[in-house]
Amino acid sequence: MRFGDEVVAIYIHTPDIMSPGVISAIEKQGYDPSKFSITGVWAGPEGLQFIREGKISAIVAPPAMTVAELSVQYLYDLKSGKKIPQIGDTVIEEGAVWSPAKVVLNPYC
């Protein structure tokens, strides 16, 4: 992201696998990664290490395990004839960071 002619932020979609290359490229050009607001999605060991070193500002870590568990549970329920959430419903799980979650139509699948 630029502010005028100055690059102020860099988004790394998958910092768990891409951050080593991005950070290396920034440093090889003589820049300090901590001077940029670097963020991304999906935290892995590499990205977390760069956060500890101050080279990446933040990484969003979606609840992937929860998504996987719910997907398997809903497939099982569907196969067993049980009702599953429908488009327009809201799924609520007490204490979950992602809750409440509205069920929407995914245009990609």
Average pLDDT estimate for 11-30: 92
Q: Which two tokens stand for residue 4?
A: 């005028």
Q: Domain segments of the chain: what residues?
A: 2-60, 64-102
pTM here is: 0.59
pLDDT of amino acid 64:
79
Average pLDDT estimate for 63-89: 93
Over residues 27-56, the pLDDT tens digits come to 999 999 999 999 998 877 888 889 999 999
pLDDT of amino acid 78:
95
Burial of 29-45, coded b for 16+ CB within 10 Å and e otherwise, reads eeeebeebebbbebbee
The backbone region for 30, taken as left when phi is positive above 0, alpha when psi lies in -120 to 50, beta otherwise, is left
